[in-house]
Amino acid sequence: MKRALIIIVLVVAAIGLLMNLDVVLGMIVNSLIFLIVLAGIIYAIYYFFILTEDQRKYRKALRKAKRRHKKK
């Protein structure tokens, strides 16, 4: 009897999950997009307002040097 109840509950839960899968996946995708946009905004604030001009030039030169070194 207990086993049958557990199986029935699991089946109902699986059916409910499948019926709402599009909603759940949509919420996950929306959360990921929000986090990516938020990280981009925070990085932009850091890059343009916290780093000095010399630090930005140094980072740009470092990226260029890494690209050149990678091609060799």
Whole-prediction pTM? 0.59
Domain parsing of the chain, residue ranges: 2-71
pLDDT on residue 51: 85
- For residues 14 and 3, what is the distance between their CA atoms, to the nearest angstrom? 16
End-to-end CA distance of the chain: 70
Q: State pLDDT tens for residues 18-45.
A: 888 888 889 999 999 999 999 999 999 9
pLDDT on residue 72: 62
Retrieve residue 11's tokens. 């089946």
Retrieve residue 20's tokens. 């709402």
